[in-house]
């Protein structure tokens, strides 16, 4: 029978090297590197809302950390430390195979970025997972949502919409071949946080955000905070062959694909704005990081966001992104 402290000691206790004090006391102790600012973020993933109950535990361990790393990437920060709050059902608390797989997936990604688990909490209840992440960025250099300028180009990394398309596939609202489904399911279950890219964008981009709730919603946050408007060319938004195929279909399938691309969420790619004279630098960053970077639009004076088709006519859309309290 696993107690709370058995779970912590067996699966989540590791020595720390970069913190003054790690797990085992009432609080951890850390010191900020001179000349750096702290970047702090927290995410909660709720079973049945953010992930299916039958998800592979190692995959879940990866994703709960990846979504937090994506926040660090959007700020241009280097992730350093994490805390983990784990609410487990009584069944999972006694499932050693599940706990071992979850912690293995979690720590595999943490080790990739040399991040230390410095504390947290374990309790009983419906499965919920909260991760707080702490990173560092050079003082005054953090990428923010509030610094987009008229004339900036709008860029995004990777492909958008694949995670949302995978969800539609799992919910049997759309059909995909095995070849189409595989990369979409990878995007949904094990997203790649763009930490290296985010750090490289410091001193290059004016503003940035990670795309977690959909392009329309998240770019909209930049526009609101920066008090500017934007135009986006729909045909320039990068998407995978699977999603492109669905965009070429008719009626309901095409509309669903449009919603995945613009509003689906769970992409964990970066959307950023940068001056026109940074094109060559951004092209070099794409080569250096191995991440596809696509210029999709323009920041302009005013308010609002217009998505234009090939004829420069604005598209009409009802779904503007994910909202925890409005989306069902």
Residue 266 has pLDDT above 60, yes or no: yes
Between CA 22 and CA 31 the distance in angstroms is 12
267 is in an annotated binding site: no
Q: Which of 46-55, 141-150, 192-201 has the lowest mean pLDDT?
A: 46-55
Between CA 11 and CA 104 the distance in angstroms is 8
Pairing of strands 78-88, 116-124: parallel
113 is in an annotated binding site: no
Res. 319 pLDDT band, cuts 50 70 90:
low
206 is in an annotated binding site: no
- pLDDT tens profile 80-132: 999 999 999 999 989 999 999 999 999 999 999 999 999 999 999 999 999 99
Rounded (5°) CA angle 324-327-328 = 110
104 is in an annotated binding site: no
Mean pLDDT of the chain: 92
Q: How much is the average pLDDT of 236-253?
A: 93
324 is in an annotated binding site: no
Q: How much is the average pLDDT of 274-283?
A: 97
Residue 325 has pLDDT above 50, yes or no: no
pLDDT at res. 159: 97
103 is in an annotated binding site: no
Domains 4-138 and 153-308 share a fold: no
pTM of the full predicted structure?
A: 0.92
In the chain, the percentage of residues whose pLDDT exceeds 90 is 80
What fold does the segment set 153-308 form as a domain? Answer: Phosphoribosyl-aminoimidazole Synthetase; Chain A, domain 2 (3.90.650)
Written as six digits, the tokens of 105 are 């997936």
Between CA 252 and CA 77 the distance in angstroms is 41
233 is in an annotated binding site: no
Structural contact between residues 102 and 69, judged by C-beta atoms closer than 8 angstroms: no
Alpha-carbon 204 to chain mean position: 21
What is the side-by-side strand order in the sheet with 116-124? 36-46, 128-138, 78-88, 116-124
pLDDT at res. 120: 92
pLDDT at res. 250: 82
pLDDT at res. 326: 44
210 is in an annotated binding site: yes
Q: Kind and range of the H or E element at 138? A: strand 128-138
pLDDT at res. 2: 85
Q: Where are the domains of the chain?
A: 4-138, 153-308
Q: How much is the average pLDDT of 185-212?
A: 97
Between CA 75 and CA 200 the distance in angstroms is 11
Helices (H), the chain: 4-7, 57-75, 90-93, 96-112, 162-170, 178-189, 195-201, 215-226, 241-247, 251-263, 279-289
Domain 4-138 has CATH 3.40.630.30: no
259 is in an annotated binding site: no
152 is in an annotated binding site: no
Between CA 288 and CA 290 the distance in angstroms is 6
**Of 249, 230, 234, 247, which Cα lies nearest the Cα of 301?**
230
């Amino acid at each position: 029978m696993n107690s709370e402290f058995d779970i912590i000691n067996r699966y989540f206790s590791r020595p720390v090297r970069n913190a003054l004090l790690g797990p085992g006391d009432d609080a951890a102790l850390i010191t900020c590197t001179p000349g750096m600012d702290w970047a702090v973020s927290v995410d909660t993933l709720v079973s049945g809302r953010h992930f299916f109950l039958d998800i592979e535990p190692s995959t879940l361990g990866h994703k709960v950390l990846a979504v937090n790393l994506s926040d660090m990437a959007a700020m241009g920060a280097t992730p350093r430390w994490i805390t983990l709050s784990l609410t487990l059902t009584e069944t999972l608390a006694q499932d050693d195979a599940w706990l071992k797989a979850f912690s293995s997936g979690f720590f595999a990604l943490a080790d990739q970025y040399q991040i230390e688990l410095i504390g947290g909490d374990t309790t009983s209840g419906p499965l919920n997972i909260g991760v707080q992440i702490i990173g560092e960025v050079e003082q005054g250099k953090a990428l923010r949502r509030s610094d987009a300028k008229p004339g900036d180009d709008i860029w995004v990394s990777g492909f958008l919409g694949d995670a949302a398309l995978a969800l539609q596939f799992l919910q049997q609202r759309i059909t995909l071949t095995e070849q189409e489904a595989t990369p979409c399911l990878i995007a949904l279950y094990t997203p790649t946080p763009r930490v290296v890219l985010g750090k490289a964008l410091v001193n290059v981009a004016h503003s940035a955000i990670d795309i977690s709730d959909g392009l329309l919603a998240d770019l909209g946050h930049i526009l609101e905070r920066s008090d500017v408007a934007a135009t986006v060319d729909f045909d320039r938004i990068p998407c995978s062959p699977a999603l492109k195929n669905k965009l070429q279909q008719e009626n309901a399938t095409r509309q669903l694909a449009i919603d995945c691309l613009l509003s689906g969420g769970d992409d964990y790619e970066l959307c950023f704005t940068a001056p026109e004279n940074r094109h060559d630098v951004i092209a070099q960053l794409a080569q250096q990081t191995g991440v596809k970077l696509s210029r999709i639009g323009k920041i302009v004076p005013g308010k609002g966001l217009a998505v234009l088709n090939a004829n420069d006519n604005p598209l009409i859309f009802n779904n503007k992104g994910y909202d925890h309290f409005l989306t069902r």
